[in-house]
Amino acid sequence: MIDKQKFEELFNQQFIKDISQEDIDIVLSGQYGKALELLRDAEATGLFPALVGPPGVGKTILCRYFASLRARESKSKNFYWLTMDESIKPSHFIGSFDPAITLKKGFILEAFNPGPLLSAMLEGGTFLANEINRATEYSQNTLLEPLEEASIGIPHLGRIKAQEDFFFICAMNPEELSGTHRLSEALKDRIKVWIKLTYPDKSTELDIIRINLPEHFHIEESELELIYSVIKETRQNKIDVDIPASIRAGIAMAKLLGRRRLLEKEEKVKEKESIYIYLSEIARHVLLGSIKPKPGVKVENVIENIIQKTLGG
């Protein structure tokens, strides 16, 4: 286990004071540039937006990039986020009392640890409710007062008003995906800008893959085309595939291939395999956890069919 002194040293080295310090690589062509423009319009008009799209299309990174722009423009504005599921309770949003201090001193401000929503409201920062439709309606209702009245009640302490610059964003998967809940009508009524994201066009997706490759990895454009053909086929096969491969799967395949090409260049690989053979091997490992087949369909069979169709075996 890492010792305390070493932990503090490493923590301070890697600590990100605010989102404006992050170097976020993002592609803003196609739908992403339009989505960013809509986020800026929503901010300017005081309307709260929702990003809706399947897993892995870049909803979270777009929110982080938008928050970094806000932070650079007004230096004190931080970014907070919380990813939802059924275990999330209102205390995860608002905060909770430290039991030890509360026992000694009671329910006082000193004993209270603020949650991410409360912190964003107090600082005028950006709060992202990620995968909001995985939270129960009980937890969703925590957001009604902040979005309607720009205030929130803190148990035992009272009610606070949000700073004027407080900005709320939510992101969610389409309702038809398993594990999601319907947004309450009251919450939907408070979200006024709905931004739909889908899998990007080919040129945009290839750009995203390129910027996510380490600088010392190099793969040919023809190899990128093959990777894209595999990913695209998972999205076109609606008979066997329930959830297709996201952009992350293409990035993973490109990184593994880039690593292989680097080893070949350094002559650390004795035999150079055909691109089709090696990509087939990569695809089997990556797609196994990147796609979800229809009920009753074996994922291995789906993968082999996709490989056979795009890479020839």
- Contact predicate 182/200, CB 8 Å: no
The model's pTM: 0.88
Per-residue pLDDT of the chain (313 residues; tens, 9 = 90+): 778 888 888 888 887 777 877 888 999 999 999 999 999 999 999 999 999 999 899 999 999 999 999 988 875 578 999 999 999 999 999 999 999 999 999 999 999 999 999 999 999 999 999 999 899 888 999 999 999 999 999 989 999 999 999 999 999 988 766 566 788 899 999 999 999 999 999 999 999 999 999 988 989 999 999 999 999 999 999 999 999 999 999 999 999 999 988 888 877 666 666 888 889 999 999 999 999 999 999 999 999 999 999 998 5
pLDDT of residue 166: 94
126 inside domain: yes
* Count of other CB atoms within 10 angstroms of residue 306: 27
SS3 letters across 210-230: HHCCCCCCCCCHHHHHHHHHH
- Contact predicate 111/105, CB 8 Å: yes
Domain end position, chosen among 167, 196, 225: 196
Distance CA 118, CA 44 (A): 22
pLDDT of residue 200: 95
Same domain, 186 and 286: no
Handedness of CA 154, 155, 158, 159 (dihedral sign): positive
Same domain, 132 and 208: no
User: Whole domain around residue 102: which residue ranges?
Assistant: 11-196
pLDDT of residue 272: 66
Q: Residue 278 class from Cβ within 10 Å (0-12 exposed, 13-18 middle, 19+ buried)?
A: middle
Same domain, 124 and 44: yes
Q: Output b/e per residue, 99-109; b: 16+ Cβ within 10 A.
A: eeebeeeeeee
1 inside domain: no
2 inside domain: no
Distance CA 75, CA 210 (A): 31
Same domain, 148 and 279: no
- Contact predicate 193/38, CB 8 Å: yes
Same domain, 209 and 248: yes
Domain end position, chosen among 136, 167, 196: 196
pLDDT of residue 181: 74
Domain end position, chosen among 141, 162, 196: 196
In sequence order, which residues have a C-beta less than 8 Å from that of residue 157 and are 6 or more positions away?
107, 109, 112
307, containing H or E segment: helix 299-310
The domain spanning residue 127 has which CATH number? 3.40.50.300
By C-alpha distance, which of 126, 129, 148 is closest to 40? Answer: 126
